């Protein structure tokens, strides 16, 4: 049962990723990324990371993906002809395709080779059926307090910086 769920969700994620790679329309790619994020979130839950699964859905699907779709809509190509499928279309020249295939397949082969020759020996047993929320909260407030605070500062800086950058600085005088 667990194996079936694992294979189903990883298949969803991988197929969605490949669909983004091969689709020409960027809006379709963004919605396929939604599926890929959901699949990865389900994999988190299957690996016993319930809190991370929920935050994956809330941060990525609820925040980042909406932001990306807004970005796609705000940067429409100014194509004036009436064909509605021409917007958001990404034309890929053949040299880019060759470079993408070489980079992707090469990186994949190297990673798979490393994984298969790694021969991991795990020190402990896999943890099952225990909520991780208490551990994550205690760790964040004790041994990981400094990164936690730095994260807060980073988010504040990113918020202010993004708002300042995106501000419309040339009003029609």
Partner 1 sequence: MTSITIYHYLIVGAILFSAGLGIAVTKRHFIGMLLGIELMLNAVNVNLVAFSRYDGERLSGQLFALFVMVVAAAEVTVALAIILRVYGHYKTVDPDDLDELQQ
Chain residues 96-125 in contact with partner 1, contact rule CB under 8 A: 96-97, 99-101, 103-105, 107-108, 111-112, 115-116, 120, 122-125
Q: Does 67 bind partner 1 (CB under 8 A)?
A: yes
The residue from 8, 59, 79, 145 that contacts partner 1 (CB under 8 A) is 59
What is the helix (H) or strand (E) element at residue 10, kind and residue range? Answer: helix 2-22
Residue 81 CB, nearest approach to partner 1 (Å): 17
Could you give the CA distance from residue 69 to residue 65 in angstroms, rounded to a whole number?
6
Q: Does 42 bind partner 1 (CB under 8 A)?
A: no
Binding characters for partner 1, 128-147, by CB under 8 A (x = yes): x-x-x--xx--xx--xx--x
DSSP state of 118: T
Could you give the CA distance from residue 160 to residue 12 in angstroms, rounded to a whole number?
36
Residue 82 CB, nearest approach to partner 1 (Å): 20
Q: Does 83 bind partner 1 (CB under 8 A)?
A: no
Residue 145 CB, nearest approach to partner 1 (Å): 11
Q: Does 66 bind partner 1 (CB under 8 A)?
A: no
Longest dimension (CA), the chain: 67
The residue from 52, 54, 57, 61 that contacts partner 1 (CB under 8 A) is 52
> Cβ contacts of residue 45 below 8 Å, gap of 6+?
53
- Please state whether 74 falls in left (phi above 0), alpha (psi between -120 and 50) or beta: alpha
Contact in structure between 115 and 125 (CB atoms under 8 Å): no
The residue from 28, 131, 141, 161 that contacts partner 1 (CB under 8 A) is 161
Q: Does 2 bind partner 1 (CB under 8 A)?
A: yes
Could you give the CA distance from residue 43 to residue 91 in angstroms, rounded to a whole number?
33
Residue 35 CB, nearest approach to partner 1 (Å): 11
DSSP state of 164: H
């Amino acid at each position: 049962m667990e194996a079936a769920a694992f294979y189903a969700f990883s298949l969803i994620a991988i197929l969605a990723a490949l669909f983004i790679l091969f689709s020409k329309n960027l809006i379709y790619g963004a919605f396929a990324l939604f599926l890929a994020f959901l699949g990865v979130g389900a994999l988190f839950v299957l690996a016993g990371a319930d809190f991370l699964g929920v935050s994956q859905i809330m941060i990525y699907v609820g925040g980042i993906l909406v932001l990306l779709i807004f970005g796609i809509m705000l940067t429409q190509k100014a194509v004036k002809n009436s064909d509605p499928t021409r917007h958001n279309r990404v034309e890929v020249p053949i040299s880019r395709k060759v470079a993408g295939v070489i980079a992707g397949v090469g990186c994949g082969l190297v990673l798979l080779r490393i994984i298969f020759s790694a021969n991991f020996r795990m020190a402990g047993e896999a943890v099952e059926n225990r909520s991780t929320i208490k551990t994550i909260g205690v760790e964040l407030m004790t041994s990981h307090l400094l990164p936690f605070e730095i994260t807060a500062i980073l988010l504040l800086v990113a918020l202010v910086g993004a708002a300042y950058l995106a501000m419309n600085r040339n009003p029609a005088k």
